[in-house]
Amino acid sequence: MRLRTLMVTAAVTLLGGVAAVVGATPAMAAGPTATFVKTSDWGSGWEGRYTITNGGTTTMNGWTVAFDLPAGSSVSSFWDADLTRTGQRFAFRNKSWNGTLAPGASASFGLIGAGAGAGSPANCTLNGASCGGTTDPGTQPPGTPGAPSVTGVTQTSISLSWGASSGTVTGYRVYEGSTVRATVTGTSATIGGLTANTAHTYTVAAYNAAGESARSAAVTGTTSGGTGPQVPGTPGNVRVTGTTGSAISLAWNASTGTVTGYRVYEGSTVRATVTGLAATISGLPACAARTYTVAAYNSAGESARSAAVSGTTTGCSTGPLPAHFLTGYWHNFVNPAVELRLRDVPAAYDLIAVAFAEATSTPGAVTFAVDPGLSTALGGYSDADFRADLATLKSRGKKVILSVGGEAGRVAVNDATSATNFSNSMFNLIQSYGFDGVDIDLENGLNPTFMAQALRNLRSRVGANLIITMAPQTIDMQNPTVSYFKLALDIRDILTVVHTQFYNSGSMLGCDQSFAYSQGTVNFMTALACIQLEAGLRPDQVALGLPAGPGAAGGGVVAPSMVNQALDCLARGTNCGSFRPPRTYPGIRGAMTWSINWDVSNGNQFANTVDPHLATLP
């Protein structure tokens, strides 16, 4: 017997197509290169990948790939890099973990192009030089530093900070006009020996053995003293107040001190300058995630930046599933719950996760067959019966995916070979049985880099309707740096939904980081879901996973009506407990239960209570 804990389904949609190489690197190019490959093209958009290769003789300590897209075209999603956009110029900078490239090493990032014409990248540069590569990374000047800001003033000094330059950097020079006022190796400096209540304007340039970068944007600060103003305080409570398909609206609390206005930053780029306590950043693509900070300024300088806030424009595709839906796991094994033929799954379930695919002797590969014990318990349930039942469910409009892992699962995808094995074996099972996707329920750990590689490869082969779901435990989703959470964020452009198992975990911290909320409460479900919603997942990628009733879990069993209360709290701000999320999430995707078999054993109370309520959500 196997008692399994809650599983989550992850649905990925892949775009098929023959890969086309655009702007291939010359075979003998020296130094660093960035090569673009268009992996699929469907007319109104495309999926592509840039590969950065260090063909030089010294280590690259960071890279930035920039290119132009035609008017009307944009980047709707991307992964394995950070994006800054200025008009139709798109600059992708390395993540913290893929920026250092030894000679001969490479890194890559992916993106989705969309919009009118969906034109291909043009005028590509890598760290300011041609993407074709003609120079060694150590023999070209650094990129331009990010816009500086005034971080503090006294009667005799002004302190500055700025964003780091791309490329190899020996140090930075702070200029006042044409005079160097400071030379430092970090990204901050204090200029002393100034007169009280005087204004000074500075720019910053990075340098190395090859020369000096272009100067940064200018910043002006005023020393304190006399009756002159002080730098304002930091704006507080920056929040997203609304989104559309092309805009994100923000608001914040006023800064202390004398304030001339506020600047809204995306990275080091100013996206809006206003005099009030709100701003709307427009001209964004649909379903685009953005992160902003806000600073106040006056004649004395600029305040420290606020805490960051993230928002996503509307228009995200819900894929082949309803806007709100119910997921359940079907047992391919025998335990104290009732045994069911697949065709006997109640009609309330929109997405059925077959539990589980099993590991093979080949690293990363998985296989599936009807469990012999289940076959016997059902009077001879055969592989042919299962295939026929799966076809029957699909004819009823249901989606069926294959879950990988579970409490006892030992599937390991820890390198490129096992990632390929996983993708190949899952693709074969999908083709053979007709599964609609894959659910990742690896409760014994995973490698986010290679699992993401496997899922992206699978998506590229199956096509746009592949469903990818995930079912992490609560401990796996406490912090974005944890491997499971990192995987979800790294593949959010292809991820369908995360059904976290809100049970079998005891008490856990919520997004307010103030209390350890007890499992089995509305507070627990909403405060922990809030972590995911505020840390980068879209509301349509978050669902609540709960046990179906007594016997289904060792702890955290709740009345189905409490699941409805938690959904109301997140979607509408009603029926909350003592914890109230910082905003509402009308797109919250729905609920999942472990399991269908346990629900049937308990009189279908979970499905009969939660499914009708999902239809009432916004």
- Taking 50 as the threshold, does the pLDDT of residue 49 lie above it? yes
- Taking 90 as the threshold, does the pLDDT of residue 601 lie above it? yes
Distance CA 83, CA 284 (A): 13
- Taking 60 as the threshold, does the pLDDT of residue 335 lie above it? yes
For the annotated catalytic residues, the residue numbers are 443
Q: List the CATH number of the domain containing 194.
A: 2.60.40.10
Whether residue 464 is found in the same domain as residue 603: yes
Domain total in the chain: 4
Backbone angles phi, psi at 345, to 5 degrees: -60, 130
In total, the chain counts a number of residues equal to 618
Distance CA 129, CA 448 (A): 32
- Taking 80 as the threshold, does the pLDDT of residue 197 lie above it? yes
pLDDT at 13: 31
Backbone angles phi, psi at 312, to 5 degrees: -130, 130
Where is the domain boundary, 265, 295, 312? 312
Whether residue 272 is found in the same domain as residue 353: no
Whether residue 281 is found in the same domain as residue 133: no
- Taking 90 as the threshold, does the pLDDT of residue 606 lie above it? yes
Contact present, 296 and 303 (Cβ < 8 Å): yes
Per-residue exposure over 499-536, b if at least 16 CB sit within 10 Å of its own CB, e if not: bbbbbbbeebbbbeeeeebebbbbbbbbbbbbbbbbbb
Q: Which of 556, 560, 501 is nearest to 532 (CA)?
A: 501
Whether residue 242 is found in the same domain as residue 198: no
Whether residue 250 is found in the same domain as residue 127: no
Whether residue 432 is found in the same domain as residue 471: yes
The string of pLDDT tens digits covering residues 538-583 is 899 999 999 999 999 989 999 999 999 999 999 999 999 999 998 8
Q: List the CATH number of the domain containing 49.
A: 2.60.40.290
Contact present, 309 and 240 (Cβ < 8 Å): yes
> Environment class of residue 242 by beta-carbon count within 10 Å: exposed (0-12), middle (13-18) or buried (19+)?
middle
The one-character DSSP state at 113 is: E
For residue 582, CA distances in Å to 156, 174, 506, 533, 572 come to 41, 40, 24, 10, 12
The gap between the terminal CA atoms of the chain, to the nearest Å, is: 41
Residue with tokens 């806007």: 323
Tokens of 336: 């104290």
Whether residue 185 is found in the same domain as residue 294: no
Contact present, 589 and 541 (Cβ < 8 Å): yes
Whether residue 452 is found in the same domain as residue 560: yes
Instruction: Give one word for 117, left, alpha or beta, with left for phi > 0 and alpha for psi -120 to 50.
Output: left
Least confident of 77-86, 152-161, 265-274, 361-370: 77-86
- Taking 80 as the threshold, does the pLDDT of residue 21 lie above it? no
Contact present, 47 and 39 (Cβ < 8 Å): yes
Q: Is residue 510 part of a domain?
A: no
Q: Which of 549, 551, 548, 558 is nearest to 522 (CA)?
A: 558
Whether residue 393 is found in the same domain as residue 279: no
Whether residue 214 is found in the same domain as residue 350: no
Q: List the CATH number of the domain containing 458.
A: 3.20.20.80
Distance CA 273, CA 261 (A): 7
- 16 against 598, higher pLDDT: 598
The string of pLDDT tens digits covering residues 230-249 is 889 999 999 888 888 899 99
Contact present, 509 and 478 (Cβ < 8 Å): yes
pLDDT at 594: 96
Residues paired with 325 in a beta bridge = 590
Please name the helix (run of DSSP H) or strand (run of DSSP E) that holds residue 383, with its range, or none: helix 383-395
Contact present, 204 and 146 (Cβ < 8 Å): no
Distance CA 467, CA 497 (A): 9
Distance CA 9, CA 488 (A): 12
Whether residue 387 is found in the same domain as residue 465: yes
Distance CA 165, CA 210 (A): 14
Confidence class for position 319, pLDDT limits 50, 70, 90: confident
Least confident of 15-29, 122-136, 175-189: 15-29
**53-62, 106-115, 311-320, 487-496 — most confident range:** 487-496
Whether residue 355 is found in the same domain as residue 251: no
Distance CA 131, CA 134 (A): 9
Contact present, 596 and 345 (Cβ < 8 Å): yes
Tokens of 129: 């030089």
Least confident of 53-67, 300-314, 436-450: 300-314
Where is the domain boundary, 84, 115, 139? 139
Contact present, 336 and 353 (Cβ < 8 Å): no
Q: Is residue 230 part of a domain?
A: no
Range of the domain at 166: 149-222
